[in-house]
Structure 1
Amino acid sequence: MARINTNVSALNAQRNLNRAYAVLNQTMEHLSTGLRISRGKDDPAGLIVSERLRSEISAVGQAISNTQRAKLVVSTTEGALDEVAALLKDIQAKIVESANSGAMSDDEVRANQLQIDSAIDSITRIANTTSFGGRRVLDGSLHYSVSGVNSNRIAAQTINAAQFGSLPTVPVTVRVISQAQRASASFPFAALSTPITVEVKGRLGVASLSFGSATTVNQVALAIAAVRDSTGVSATTSGSVLKMVSTGVGKKELASIKVLSGSTPFITDTERRGTDAVATVNGALAQADGVNLTVKTASLDADLTISTTFPPGSSTTFNVTGGGALFQVGPRVNTNLQVNVGVPSVAASNLGNPVVGYLATLKSGGPNAIVNSGVNFKAASDIVAKAIDQVSVLRGRLGAFERGTLDANINQLGITMENLTSAESNIRDADFAGETSQLARNQILVNAGTTVLTLANQTTQSVLRLLGS
């Protein structure tokens, strides 16, 4: 039956053609943008997941940039420390040269002092001017601040890292279980009846001492004490008892005596060693070297020196109140993805310690200047050796932080970035092979639909021809 008021076939053809056009336009949009999901209607659930992945990718990318910037800070700092180390070695060389007093004129010593002064000034200048992005890194501004330190129990402290979390301070409780001890040996003594030669050995070295017959216990003690700077062993008397004792404390200390020639009933071959302190820091057993303690926990990395008068069985507490360099190395802002590192000042007034002295005291006018009358070259050398050790330890710690934390973090974040990007691509990106196939299909459907619509419109024309017949 033919009707002319309503062309149902044409309406059906037009509806299918519009749908084919919509699908064709969507396919062309996918191909032109490279995205399968460019708006919510394409895949609502997929859009939600992909947007979350994009957010994570952005955060991970920034974390990588943050870590790379942290590496630049460390590299800048270590480069400056390398120059400080070179200057310290020059100072050490000048002290050793000047100690050769039998072959050095006063003018040469004064010239060496001028070079030492210049090197010390350069070290302080490097400490006060080295910066990254306008922030100084070696003047102590990145060091931790502490409060409540009992100087009678804690002789020195260096906080390398502290994690504050949500707390305003990090408490540090040091409890001494047993104190460090000197190496010591005692011998009941009377005047020697025959000459003897003994070897005295300590941590610093060995010395041979000869004594004639009738030598008293006091004379033996004085002779041993006279070479303590080269052996690390001194001696005292208590009545007729000779007591040898190491100049330092800890298990590295040694007090040894050996009879090389002659014989005496008063001295036997003996070797004694000291003991390290046993202590806990915040409940964790500290690694000890004499009275020097090292502790590394999730919340604290510190080097402490306890006083030799710190009573065993007692404790003391101080607080880390702030400071340090905080690096955000993770994609989320929380304490687990942040690292905090302290960098102390390397100015001449800070290199050294109260025991051996500070580098600044080697300058002209200072108590350890090499131009001073009766200067103790060993003391001056010990100060520089301590400063070199401090700079070396700091460089090593920063190097370990860069390699073990920053480099590892970049590698891990790179893998995370790769996996997240792959997942986001699988969800959101268009499959060009599949979309190209769909394009060909949809083009055919559009062409076919256009042809069918044309034919459907021509159907009514055929009915009108009946009127003319």
Structure 2
Amino acid sequence: MSRINTNVNSLIAQRILTNQNKELTTTLERLSTGSRINRGGDDPAGLIVSENLRSQKAAIGAAIGNAERAEQVVNIAEGGLQEISTLLLEVQSLVGQTANDAGMSQEEKEANQLQVDSILQTVDRIAEATSFQGTKLLNGNFDFSISGQDSSVVDYEIKSAKLNTGDTRNVQMIVTASAQTAGLYVSLGGTSLDLSSNTATFEFEVAGTKGARQFSFSSGTNTSAVAAQINSFTDVTGVSAVASSTGLYLNSNEYGSTEFVSIDVTDNAGISAANAGVYTMSTTAQFTIDTTSRAALSTITNAVRDEGQDLGAVINGVTATADGLTARISNEFLDVEIELDQAGGTALGAIDAFTITGGGAKFNLGPNVDIGNQVSVGIGNIAARKLGSVSTGYMDQLGAGKSANLVNGDLNAAQEIVNTAIKEVSTTRGRLGAFQKNVIGTTIRALGVTLENTTAAESMIRDTDFAAETANLTRSQILVQATQNALSISNSNPQNVLALL
């Protein structure tokens, strides 16, 4: 080189040294921070993707925390319900003891009543005291609220309903098939028994879901007297009777396919009226005799039996499962059970049952805040005045001086109320347990796996590969040193021209 004003080799070496220093700085930064992307210029596309993944991680982590918090709420509610269940079993025992009337003194009955009163007060106290961070769980605070309840709706239970903020949901029920009791008609040819002789007896057995009873009547007995005798054992058989001008209607006390009525004539005593016999009821109309189904009294060798029919219904476009007069649907957006009265359950047509206006315990168990990730669970009021049903009565009726008290009240009604209350509490516990196991538990596990995979994806994009970067560090250090030596040589080359002077 014979020029000294411009040292091209030095300029090249300076440029390369600057680039090598930048690479070395980048490598040292990645090794010291552990992140491959420290600013947008490191990898613009990778930065966008990794930030989105970080956002997803934060949302998933919040959802896992929400699910864990929901599990804590359910655990506290379960603790209160478990204690109430124990108390109800104690009341059941006290009712059974008091029913042993001949073996119980008045003082013992009064002592048992004192225990029941104390238990009822404790149930109310637990319902009021069970809370999570000051929010009461068992006093109806998390029950759903409704408006516009139709008069044919006897009772209802909203177990779950998803509603957007401020939204309401109309619940419409279409009765497609009438509920029926089991029923038979026994034609006897008149208002009194006309047997073959004064010494003959008409003998038959009536059976229902609760049991069976044998009856025997002499000639001349009015059908009304026969019905009265059958009705005196309705608690034993589950069957009631109504006298007509020519015979008897036998019907189960409850509606539904699990109910039945049967009659087995063991001695027809020569009843010979033209239409005498046992008839079943129409399957399409309640209390309507199927005149083609006659079984003559003289030809009956086995019991004639009829079964009830469950309600057929569609609720909000979903075919409901039914038991007697009660229909239920259960899906992601609505889980509701509705009980109709006799008129509503036996007449085909549409019923605007009610409108859900809000309520329920809402949990957001997904990464996105929307109705798809929300779960809403109804927890009813577990106070004594709410435990029971419209048809049987409520637990507060077992209190002193009430209709089902243990001293002089109706113990049959008391036991039915307690049985219903125990079933209600057990059902609530089972429903919350299923929610805890199948919804919360599954959600936590699924979100945990999702969080792991999302974290792994974000790490692949953003984190430093130390094996590669340490190799880059060694390479950069060597190149920087080599470039510095090259620059030093380039800078000293112009001095060679001095040899020409």
Shorter-chain TM-score above 0.5: yes
Structure 2 counterpart of 1:231: 237
Aligned residue number for residue 316 of structure 2: 282
1:206 counterpart residue number: 212
Q: Contact conserved, 2:208 with 2:237, CA < 8 A, in 1?
A: yes
Q: TM-score, normalised by structure 2?
A: 0.88
Question: Does 2:347 align with 1:312?
Answer: yes
Give the unaligned 5+ runs of structure 1. none
Match of 1:409 in 2: 443
Alpha-carbon separation, structure 1, partners of 2:213 and 2:335: 40
Letter of the 1:164 partner, please give it.
Answer: L
Letter in 2 for 1:123: V
Distance 1:368 1:264 in 2: 46
| 2:333 matches 1:327 | no
Tell me which of 488, 493, 501 is aligned to 1:454. 488
What corresponds to 1:99 in structure 2?
Answer: 99
Task: Tell me which residue corresponds to 2:71.
Answer: 71
Offset from partner CA, 1:185-210 (integer Å, 9 cap, x none): 11122245524654321112223334
In the alignment of these two chains, the number of paired residues is 464
Classify the secondary structure of the residue corresponding to 2:433.
helix
Aligned pairs for 1:238-253 within 5 A: 238-253=244-259
Q: What are the residue-to-residue correspondences of 1:347-358 with 2, within 5 Å?
A: 347-358=383-394
* 1:397-434 C-alpha deviation (Å, 9 max, x unpaired): 11222222222222221222122112111111111111
Secondary structure of 1:140's match? strand
Shift of 1:393: 1.2
Shift of 1:218: 3.1
Match of 2:27 in 1: 27
Give CA-to-partner distance per residue, 1:344-400, whole Å, 9 cap, x none.
Answer: 11111111112111001101121111112xx32111000000011111111111122
> How far apart are 1:215 and its partner, in Å?
4.5
Paired residue secondary structure (2:87): helix
Work out the CA distance in 2 between the residues paired with 1:432 and 1:206.
84
The whole-number CA distance in structure 2 between the counterparts of 1:205 and 1:15 is 104
> Structure 1 counterpart of 2:469, which letter?
E
Gaps of at least 5 residues in structure 2 are: 272-276, 278-296
Shift in Å, 1:461: 4.2
SS of the equivalent of 2:139 reads coil
Q: Report the counterpart of residue 344 of structure 1 in structure 2.
A: 380
The 10-residue stretch of structure 1 (82-91 or 183-192) with the greater mean CA deviation from structure 2: 183-192
404, 416, 428: which is aligned to 2:462? 428
Task: Identify which of 261, 268, 283 aligns with 1:255.
Answer: 261
What is the match of residue 179 of structure 1?
178
Is 1:295 matched with 2:329? yes
8 Å CA contact retained: 1:191, 1:217: no
- Aligned-residue sequence identity (percent) comes to 42
Decide which moves more: 299-308 or 259-268. Answer: 259-268
Equivalent position SS for 1:6? coil
Q: Who is 2:479 aligned against?
A: 445
Match among 227, 252, 272 for residue 306 of structure 2: 272
Cα distance in structure 1, aligned partners of 2:124 and 2:178: 36
1:131-164 per-position Cα deviation (integer Å, ceiling 9, x unaligned): 112211111011111111122x111111111122
CA distance in 1, matches of 2:93, 2:312: 38
In structure 2, distance between residues paired with 1:426 and 1:68: 29
Partner residue of 1:137?
A: 137
The CA RMSD over aligned residues, in Å, is 2.0
Tell me how far apart the structure 2 counterparts of residues 445 and 263 of structure 1 sit (CA, whole Å): 121
Structure 1 residues 150-189: aligned runs within 5 Å: 150-151=150-151, 153-165=152-164, 168-189=167-188
8 A contact 1:191–1:216 mirrored in 2 = no
Structure 1 contact 276–288 (Cα < 8 Å) conserved = yes
Q: Which amino acid aligns with 2:441?
A: D
The 1:155–1:264 alpha-carbon spacing in structure 2 relative to 1, beyond 3 Å, is farther
For 2:9, the equivalent position in structure 1 comes to 9
SS at match of 2:240: strand
Identify the residue that residue 419 of structure 1 maps to in structure 2.
Answer: 453
Distance 1:249-1:264 versus aligned 2 partners, 3 A rule: farther
Are the aligned partners of 2:178 and 2:348 in contact in 1 as well (CA < 8 Å)?
no
Shift of 1:237: 0.9
Query: After alignment, is 28-37 or 212-221 more displaced?
Result: 212-221
* TM-score using structure 1 length: 0.94
The 1:210/1:176 distance shift into structure 2, 3 A limit, reads same
Deviations 1:42-66 (A, max 9, x none): 0011101111111111111111111
Between the aligned partners of 1:337 and 1:263, the Cα distance in structure 2 is 71
